[in-house]
A and B are shown apart, each in its own frame.
Chain A
């Protein structure tokens, strides 16, 4: 397993597009040490490697899907009720990237 160093944490943060302060990096480094200790403990339990990772509690699948029937949406004023900075009906925030239409996907 990769050794978790502060450099690894900073690189991961950069890949996830987070900016970390040195204090935050230190905190994550310390928390990771705890997590890794716990993982080491789990690995010490015999037979763990043979257990398949589980996402769902049951093996059953479903067949249900929603009909394509739109329902009444939130009113714009309700949708924006928790938004402290607005411009018209849009959420206003500090400029995120440098180019018009730029987006992650």
Chain B
């Protein structure tokens, strides 16, 4: 029997505010345990929640970016449960009136555009971080109360790659908006994936398994692909998929059982009585929307327009800082965007990774990079000289012009000078010319190399090659 996988994803995104969702405690990552709490976070009696305005503004940006309908009145609800990660005994969330509903995200899978529906997004508070050791559990309440937006997709994905691209798209959006650092490895973006199979061509959903603790984008694809395979085998062997919560074990490269789900937990939701509904002011909504950063898909269109291919665009989009740098260089009038891309993504990225720097921490200036790319484009310097100049630019922050002056790096295209060099090279390498005549085509490269060496890298290699060929004629037939 042929099955169709059906995948829905819930993503919790930690919002990058300075203080918590309902208290004034600071929220940052990696501080000393239990050093970022207030009485509210620890559920001392008599303290009341007050909504963080910036978290709501961030929520509005996400809602807008996900093409959702915004609820202009904020209602909060209590989700009651008994567990050590929330000392109040409940989490404040938006069960009945989420801030956003009915949106979509565009993803690109194998060059095809696909629209994935987003059912809703709601604001809530994070729980305490638990660490489970062999016989004890440890609690750190620093994370307790950190603002979250939970984004719930419709079950409209059908493969591991689609699930991966969806999470990647959400991650891109929240990081480009600047509302979250989106670091899955730090838990700033966490996703739970529901996977089920149904008979192809039917509508009724099969029994789903929830997959948790996916801390890299690559693991999402691996976990979904594994789960599809596991459930297919069960069904093909006449078995039934059981409703379970599973986690992906990176070492074993498979999902493993965490717990079986018998009954859904009853959270006894009711409206949060300590937060009177909040009417969002039109001016506040306008400001939030009109201060949004440009989104990745808008950059995709711009970058395609300047001639970058899909691979180049996707690589560049992985880091917003690089995109902004690239776009600023375009604005400065760089003549060849593809050469710019190549220098930025190969040489500069390599240097930054090696030295553990970001582009803003390096000495590199945009106008200098544009000058360098244009010098290469106009063949005023050759690529070897370009690499040397760039290395000095990165290390010392000097301009290409001053480096060229210091090193005498101007590429010579003067005919008389090149003819003189070529003449000397041919005179000194009779054996190579003989090899060329006997069909050894590598001899040409050797001769051009000798000309470059003799000129100390100053002559234009294409011109040198042309002149050598004029003198030695076509390559002979191999004996």
Interface residues of A (CB under 8 A from B): 11-12, 14-18, 55-56, 58, 60-71, 73-76, 79-80, 87-105
Contacts and interface: CB of A to CB of B under 8 A. Distances in A.
Contacts of B24: 66, 69-71
The 3 closest A-B pairs by CB, nearest first: A68-B54, A70-B26, A65-B53
A79 B42 contact: yes
Nearest to A55: B271
B265 A91 contact: no
Interface stretch (B27-35, B63-71, B448-456): B27-35
Contact of A96 (B32, B35, B130, B271): B130
A17 B81 contact: yes
B82 interface: yes
A44 B82 CA distance: 34
B182 to A, nearest CB: 18
B407 to A, nearest CB: 51
B35 A94 contact: no
Contact of A66 (B26, B27, B53, B264): B53
A56 to B, nearest CB: 6
Contacts of B141: 79, 91
B35 A89 contact: yes
9 contacts: A15-B264, A16-B265, A61-B279, A69-B18, A70-B19, A90-B139, A96-B132, A103-B130, A105-B91
B258 A99 contact: yes
B38 interface: yes
A66, A76, A80, A97: residue with the most chain B Cβ atoms closer than 10 Å = A66
How many B residues are at the interface, by size bracket?
Answer: 35 or more
Looking at chain B's contact residues, is the secondary structure mostly helix, strand, loop, or mixed? Answer: loop
B37 A63 contact: no
A69 B20 CA distance: 9
Given A68-B19, A105-B91, 20 more contacts: A64-B278, A68-B17, A70-B24, A71-B24, A76-B32, A76-B34, A76-B35, A89-B32, A89-B34, A90-B34, A91-B84, A93-B84, A93-B137, A95-B134, A95-B135, A98-B258, A101-B212, A102-B132, A104-B85, A105-B85
Interface in B306-355: none
A69 B25 CA distance: 9
Given A14-B263, A104-B83, A79 B50 contact: no
Nearest to A17: B82
B55 A68 contact: yes
Contacts of A89: 32-35, 140
Contacts of A65: 50-53, 56, 278
Chain A interface mostly:
loop
Task: Give the interface centre of B27, B137, B259, B277 by most chain A CB atoms within 10 Å.
Answer: B137
B18 A70 contact: yes
Given A74-B37, A90-B138, A16 B130 contact: no
A105 B37 CA distance: 20
Nearest to A97: B132
Contact of A93 (B139, B140, B270, B271): B139
Interface string B1-34: 0000000000010000111000011110000111
A102 B212 CA distance: 9
B273 interface: yes
A62 B18 contact: no
Interface string B118-161: 00000000110011111111111100000000000000000000
B15 to A, nearest CB: 10
Given A62-B276, A79-B34, A92-B136, A17 B83 contact: yes
B281 interface: yes
A104 B127 contact: yes
A62 B138 contact: no
Interface string B267-305: 010110100111111000000000000000000000000
B13 to A, nearest CB: 13
A62 B144 CA distance: 25
Nearest to B270: A55
Contacts of B132: 95-102
A92 B73 contact: no
Contacts of A95: 132-137
Nearest to A105: B127
Contacts of B258: 98-99, 102
A32 to B, nearest CB: 15
B213 interface: yes
Given A56-B273, A102-B258, A11 B263 contact: yes
B266 interface: yes
Contact of A87 (B12, B18, B138, B213): B138
B72 to A, nearest CB: 10
B33 A88 contact: yes
